[in-house]
Each structure stands twice: as C-alpha cells, then as structure tokens.
Structure 1
C-alpha cells in the first residue's frame, strides 16, 4: 500500500516541484508581511510557513491546500502579542492547536456550516479594512517612531485612524515610490496582458514587487542616499547561517502564561477563527481542484491542530489553510501535496542560507502586497453583492464589520452571530403559517416548525376568524409542532362551538377535531400571518 502511494506521488513530480517553487515565491513575502502586520518578528512568519508546508501538508487529507500564516488572524495575534508578549502569544497558539485536535476528535469539521456566510464575509471584510489602515504607515515610510510602526495595535480604539493621519506628517519618498510601483506591478500582473503571456504569467507578482524593492534600495543606497529607505523599514530577520544557527533562533512559548485563564479565551478565538478560515479555504480549494477531490474536514482540523501546536512550540505564528497560496498552487499545475511540501522546504532553505538577502526587502513592498490583500477582502464589489441579496443578508454583514472595527474580532463576531440569528428567527417567525379565507371557509396551513414563539400570533390569527365559519387546519407541511402550539389549537377547538365554528384537522398529530368539507371556490383574500 505504501509503495502504491509513493508511486502516485512520484508520478506527478514534474508538475508538483515547479508548482512548489511558485508557491514558495508567493508565500515568502506573505509570510514576512503577515508577521510584520501582526507585530511579530518576521522570522516567526517564515517558521509558520515552514511548518505549514512540512508538517500540515503531511497530515492533511487535501492534496492541493497550502497552509501558513494568514491575514485573517493578524488582529487576534497582534492583540495577544500586545497583551501577553510574543512568547505568551506562542503559548496561545500551542493551546489553539490542542483545541483544534479536540475539535477533530469531536467531529467538529462541520462547524463552518453553522456560521452564516454574511457574518463570515463581514469578518473577512473588517480584517481587510484593518489591514489597509495598518499597512498605510509602512507604505508611506512613517519614520517618526519606528518601534510603534511595527506594532499592529494601539492603546485606544481611535489609534488606527490617528496613526495613519500622523504618518502623513512624516513621509519617506523612497518608501512611497516602492509601495506605489509595487502596487502597480501587482495590479498589472492581474490584467489579461500579463496573464496571456506564457513567460510573464509564470512569475508571481509578489516576487516581482519584492525584486523591484530590493533593486531600488540597492541603487539608491549607493547612488542616491537621500532617496534610500532607512534600515528600520527593511525586513529584519536574524543573521542565520546554517541549520544549527536556525535551531538556535527558535523560541519556546512562555508556559507561565498558562496560569492566566484569559489566555484560554484567546486560544479558543484562534482555534475557532483559524478553523473557520481553514474550512472555507478547503472548500474553495476543492472547487478549484481539476480532479474534483474532496478533502475530509475532520482530518484537516487534525492537521491544523498538529501544525499550530508545533508552530507555537517553535516560535511561529498561528496557521490556517490559505486560499491565496492554495489557488496559486492549483494554477501552477500542482497535482499532489508534494508541491506544498516543496514550498515548505524552500522556505526553510531560504531562511537558513539567504537571510542576508531577505533583509534587503523593504517593508513597503510587503505593505503593498497586504494592501492589495486587504482590498480583496473588503472590495466595494463585495458590499454591493451583499446589498443586492437583501436586508436580511446585508444587515448581519454590515453590523459585523462595524462591530469588529469598533470593538474587537471576538466581540464583533459574537454581535454578528446574534444579528444573523435574529434575522433567521425573524424570517422563520413571519412565514410559519398562513390563513386563507374563502367566504366563511378558512384554511389555516402550518408551514414549518412551530415553537412557543408563534403562540401569541397564532392566537391572534385564530381570534380573527368570523363566527359561523368552517376552518380546516392543515399540518402536512410542519415537521415539528411545539406543545404550546398544540395547546393553543386545542383551546380554539374547544371554544369553537360557542361561535358556531366547525373545525376539520388534517395531519395534525396530538389533536382531535370534526370532519367536514371546505369549498375553495372564489377565494376572497389571502392573509399571511406570523
């Protein structure tokens, strides 16, 4: 059996190895940029990418999904690092991994289906807005306070906006040039002009942007120092030379933080949001798979749990399956998980032996990549699409965005879920039953599940029936009728004789009524009731 599996993987090496190289080139700037956006050392982002490639891919049931640090977790990671310190955040990541393993054991792979899509889209859009606001200082080369520039969160809720405003007073021309040109490159690479060119389309846009940034800074440093980007606005990986040095720079979690009960809340948030993003990315990757393979969700939770536990133990950021890297993997022609493993191996080799080169990358390049990522998460088209779906979809979406921006991610999601649940109950409440009138004949049709919430409007509807009428109560479409509803119907039947009302029951279990016939000719009105 093992031999059969090995043959399967070896068969597609000519596709998977080149695809792995492409994914590596896409992932490297994202790993570095997401680490900086999270207020964490760039090294931690690369460690997470390595674990995603070499560990998660092995345990995953998906052949094409690629895992690594994700933009969707930057807010939580930044808050955790601010509150518990970087090593405390690592402890939360490790705990999140254990929670994901527990979720897999409990068969919680279907959890994504229980979150309204409007709330999930609102969460991602809010993260996109925050990414844009927090990357603007890097794109502008804000030099007033280099240390705070690397921090994702501030002390007050208005700091994000004030921070960007302050950045306008201290600009770096070099950083602006790099970020603007990098954005132009990223946008140009999405046009048909580049996509139709076989040679240029093979080169990942983030890599081209990074190469431009490095070339620009090398040129200006030697020839035009006034336009050069300052050292504090370059990637700052530790000076690593070889495997032993790499191991020496790994950091362990701060286990003393486990005494703080609040860190378990942070870990649970990481586990929940990370699992949601993973399951959504997994579903998207399955749809893009040319062979239409379906990855087992609970096995993916196991893989992510192992990955986050290992990443936290080694000093890496939290991990999820990431659709950007997964789609790049599929578009590059990958057939199996070997491509993701190759990308992880190349990340490992790059940080071991090319740290000096990576430290030449301007943060403005990475900011451009993340600005475009944030825009794609929160693009106006998404707003219009949600609006077109109606108020029941738009309201939870918009309120989730506002709640996250005004509070924090966990509270915002909770508020969004509450609003989403309200609209589900509201829709169910107003379509539970209908009353049709034809002269003195009435048809009360129970449409779906009826709970105690429908008792009051049902009583009001029954009271509106005229004396001397003939009423048919049809429960054929109702799969569940609560005892309170049955009680209200029974009370109506018992009192019907006083008003000379005849009642016929059809498919209503638990009640007894009179037999009769109902004439349906010449319907006068149809009254939709809650």
Structure 2
C-alpha cells in the first residue's frame, strides 16, 4: 500500500508554488464558466473556493482540483433559463446528495465501466454547443437558445459582426484571446511559467483598457451580494419531474467527469491512486455545500488538475491553498474583475470547448472500431439536437447494444452426413440478436424429404437465451410435421 506523503516543510515548498499556479489557471475559468452559465461571475468563484477549501480537504484523490467546469456550462445555462437562478441551488444540492448516496453505496468504481466512446461523445457534444454559444458571446451578441438554433445562426453571425463596430471590436479581442491560447504552448519554457488562460485574459484586458474599446465587461457585485441560501419554499421545486431530472443529470455528468478526470490524473503522477468511492463522496459534499450557497455545481477538472501535477504538487495542500487564494481575491479585490472583457472569457471557453472535441482520436478510432466511432458521433449529435441527458442515455443504450452484439458470436455450420442426414452445428452464444440468421438457415432446410433428418447440435452453445430456445422448439415442432428434426445437447 502506497503511503500518502505527509504535509511537511519539504512538501509545502512544492505545494505552495503549485497552489499559486492552480489559482492563476482557475481564476479566469471560474469567472468564464459562471458568465457562460448565465449566473453572476462571483458564483463561479464561490464554487472554486468550495472546491478548494471543502472538497480539497477530503480524501479520494490527493492532486485532483475541483471547481466549476466547462462541461456543465450547457446544462447549467438550460437549468437557469428553465427553472430560474433561485432553483439552481436546490438542483445542485440535490445532485450532491445523489452523489453522496452513490458514494455510500460504493458505486464510484462503476463509473469506470462507462464506455469511453460515450464519454468522448458527451464531451464532444458539450464542446460543440459550448463553441457555438460562446461565438456569439465572443462578439457581444446575444445568441439564440438551443443547440440547433445556435448552429443554424452561425452563418448570419459573421454578417452581424461585420456590420457592427462594437461587435467587430469584441470579436477581435476574443479572437486574439484564442490565438494566445493556441500559440502559448509553443513559446519558451520561461515564458510558459505564466498559465496560458491568465496570460490571454490579462493581455486582452490590457488591450481593451489601452485603446478604450467599447466592449462589454464583467459585472461585479461582491460575494455578499450573490450568495443566496435556498429558502424552505424553494425546496418545493423538487416536486417537479423536470427539476429532479436536471438534478439527476447534474449528478451523473459531474460524477462521470470527475472520476474520468481522476483516472487521467492518476496517469500523470506516481503517487497514491484515487479511491473512487471516496472521491465521489467528496464531490457530493462539495456540491451539497455549493447548492446551499446557491452557487454553480462543481466537478473535478482535468485542466486545473493537470496544472497542479505539472507544477510539482505533492499533497492536497496545493488544492486547499488555491481555494484560499480564490477566497482572498474575491474578498479583497473583486472589483478587479470588472475590467475583464467578456469577449476574452468567451475566447477562453471557445478554446476549452474545442479541446473537448476529440478530432485527433476520431480517425484512429474509426480505423480500429467503426462501431465505437459511430457511438461517439451519435452521442455528440444527439446532445446537440436534444439535450445532454437524452444524448448520454442514447449513447449508453447504443454501447450496451453494441457490447451485446459483439459478445453474442454464433457460428452456424451445415454439413451432410454419410447416412443422408443433415447436421447443423451451433457454436458460441445463441441470443435473440443472432436469431434472424439462425432461423434463416433452419428455414432453408424445411424442404428436405422425410428420410433426411435434421440434427441440430447444440453441444457447443455457451449460452442459449429464452428467445432462441423458444424459436428452436417451435421450429422443431413445425419441421416434424413433414420430416424429422432432433435437438442434440439442448441445455437444461
């Protein structure tokens, strides 16, 4: 068993600088995710603070960092638009309680069994909607609601930008932000000490201030003005199937994203591995607290977690300290947010959305397994055309059907014996998925004369489901009216 490193001065020397790096990465992302979700910017900081000070202290994954995630932006925005901001806290708290129940039932490890293609399709669908929505915000233009409407309106968006000076200025700021994010990894290592999102947003803010560009900026009210504890009357919303369904979707997506992030983070370091059930409990506690504060839901986020590992973090102290820095920033200098152009945050999220779409892995996946590639594509398209929950459920259904199809291999061989009889040999799993082919073979033998019996050899069948058993018995009964059919080795 690997011992977890104790918090000592030697580890603090690594964790303290790492916490500052994570803080600088998390700051623009917390604000950007909140704005894109249709809630005050400070609520994103609240979730980041809870992710550091509450979830960060709990066992599970030592180096994984939690906070508001781009992957939930689409779902949160839809929830706020449909149920209102006051209900968001109730939904988030309910999702946290569901996560606690799943963690207590030790269901955390089961999330590792979810098809990777479904998860990639889910992230791709979220990424496409996020990109489509943030392209409007990137130009300070209010976009339509719904994934299909956003995609359909993109051709007209270019014309709107070209004909509006304010939109053109905002689009230039947003495009410049994306350009910095794309070019940053290619710069010298000494420059890349500054996290790319911070550098991009800081540069966009400086240009906006220097040229006094007429673009929209972040609106700030302070933590005291946005933290809203749910009232007793708000709990009545849980009687709505729509609210309960949204809470279930929050819990499912947040848990899946957190635990898949944990698996990715474990591959980045050689320290203690994640306890998936404890991590699910930690996420549940964090989301319950976020819900009570009326803040955004949280997940473990791979961008911040990877930055934490790469910065040399050794214990959970780094993620706890990053929460401290967020709290100090939000409490002491919240007005600093009001100089940030919204277009720059939209550019950060466009870049984050693009990273969710696995374009590089799609072609190799198509070559290796076209069925898995199809599941990925169908899941993503379904999310864009319907919603997140329905798209994921469709992807899971397709994955289960594909798995059942792949595992129900059945070989059917027809041979003629020296005595004139015909032997049909089955080998593998005889399930309803292979029933059409099996019946087609048997029905082709129904014209044989009565003196040529058909012997169906089932000795090599590993599994015979009820549908196949019933169909074989019915075929035998029908064939015996004009000939002879024997079922050999029929499982009891």
TM bracket, shorter-chain basis: 0.7 to 0.9
Matched, 1:268 2:267: no
Contact 1:49 1:344 (C-alpha < 8 Å) held by counterparts: yes
What is the aligned partner in structure 2 of residue 225 from structure 1?
A: none
Alignment partner for residue 185 of structure 2, among 190, 195, 200?
190
What is the aligned partner in structure 2 of residue 252 from structure 1?
A: 229
Q: Distance in 2 between matches of 1:502 and 1:451?
A: 20
Alignment partner for residue 158 of structure 1, among 144, 149, 174?
149
Note the C-alpha offset of 1:422: 3.5
Note the C-alpha offset of 1:274: 0.9
Call closer, same or farther: CA 1:434–1:360 in 2, change over 3 Å.
same
Contact 2:112 2:259 (C-alpha < 8 Å) held by counterparts: no
Q: Distance in 2 between matches of 1:452 and 1:368?
A: 50
What is the aligned partner in structure 2 of residue 220 from structure 1?
A: 211
Q: Distance in 2 between matches of 1:67 and 1:313?
A: 17
The within-5 A match list for 1:495-514 is 505=489, 509-510=491-492
Contact 1:43 1:237 (C-alpha < 8 Å) held by counterparts: yes
Q: Distance in 2 between matches of 1:295 and 1:49?
A: 21
What is the aligned partner in structure 2 of residue 446 from structure 1?
A: 427
Q: Distance in 1 between matches of 2:262 and 2:238?
A: 31
Q: Deviations over 1:132-187 (max 9, x none)?
A: 11111232233xxxxx46xxx62795255427734424353432332232222211
What is the aligned partner in structure 1 of residue 331 from structure 2?
A: 352
Contact 1:33 1:370 (C-alpha < 8 Å) held by counterparts: yes
Note the C-alpha offset of 1:312: 1.2
What is the aligned partner in structure 2 of residue 287 from structure 1?
A: 267
> Structure 1: which 5+ residue stretches go unaligned?
143-147, 222-227, 241-245, 511-530
Out of 313-322 and 414-423, give the one that drifted further: 414-423
Alignment partner for residue 335 of structure 1, among 314, 319, 333?
314
The within-5 A match list for 1:25-104 is 25-104=24-103
TM-score, scaled to structure 2? 0.87
Contact 1:237 1:359 (C-alpha < 8 Å) held by counterparts: yes
Alignment partner for residue 395 of structure 1, among 354, 367, 374?
374
Call closer, same or farther: CA 1:17–1:307 in 2, change over 3 Å.
same
What is the aligned partner in structure 1 of residue 413 from structure 2?
A: 435
Matched, 1:482 2:465: yes
Out of 107-116 and 365-374, give the one that drifted further: 107-116
Contact 2:64 2:300 (C-alpha < 8 Å) held by counterparts: yes
Matched, 1:424 2:424: no
Q: Distance in 2 between matches of 1:65 and 1:398?
A: 29
Alignment partner for residue 234 of structure 1, among 217, 220, 238?
217
Contact 1:136 1:164 (C-alpha < 8 Å) held by counterparts: no
Note the C-alpha offset of 1:364: 1.7
Contact 2:133 2:150 (C-alpha < 8 Å) held by counterparts: no
Contact 1:443 1:474 (C-alpha < 8 Å) held by counterparts: no
Contact 2:382 2:390 (C-alpha < 8 Å) held by counterparts: yes
Note the C-alpha offset of 1:460: 4.0
Note the C-alpha offset of 1:6: 8.5
Contact 1:400 1:413 (C-alpha < 8 Å) held by counterparts: yes
Q: Deviations over 1:215-263 (max 9, x none)?
A: 2122123xxxxxx133xx111121x4xxxxx445411234343343321
TM-score, scaled to structure 1? 0.81
Q: Deviations over 1:460-484 (max 9, x none)?
A: 4345568367775433x72x33355
Note the C-alpha offset of 1:399: 1.7
The secondary structure found in structure 1 opposite 2:339 is coil
Q: Distance in 2 between matches of 1:165 and 1:10?
A: 58
Q: Distance in 2 between matches of 1:261 and 1:487?
A: 40
Contact 1:91 1:255 (C-alpha < 8 Å) held by counterparts: yes
The secondary structure found in structure 2 opposite 1:158 is helix
Note the C-alpha offset of 1:503: 7.6
Call closer, same or farther: CA 1:62–1:438 in 2, change over 3 Å.
farther
Q: Distance in 2 between matches of 1:503 and 1:392?
A: 35
Matched, 1:181 2:176: yes
The within-5 A match list for 1:458-473 is 458-462=438-442, 467=452, 472-473=457-458
Q: Distance in 1 between matches of 2:322 and 2:113?
A: 33
The secondary structure found in structure 2 opposite 1:61 is coil
Q: Distance in 2 between matches of 1:36 and 1:108?
A: 33
Call closer, same or farther: CA 1:384–1:7 in 2, change over 3 Å.
closer
Note the C-alpha offset of 1:435: 2.2
> Structure 2: which 5+ residue stretches go unaligned?
none
Matched, 1:296 2:275: yes
Call closer, same or farther: CA 1:138–1:164 in 2, change over 3 Å.
farther
Contact 1:229 1:362 (C-alpha < 8 Å) held by counterparts: no
Q: Deviations over 1:272-328 (max 9, x none)?
A: 11111111111111111233x321111111111110110111121000111111111
Note the C-alpha offset of 1:416: 2.5
Q: Distance in 2 between matches of 1:406 and 1:501?
A: 52
Q: Distance in 1 between matches of 2:236 and 2:474?
A: 63
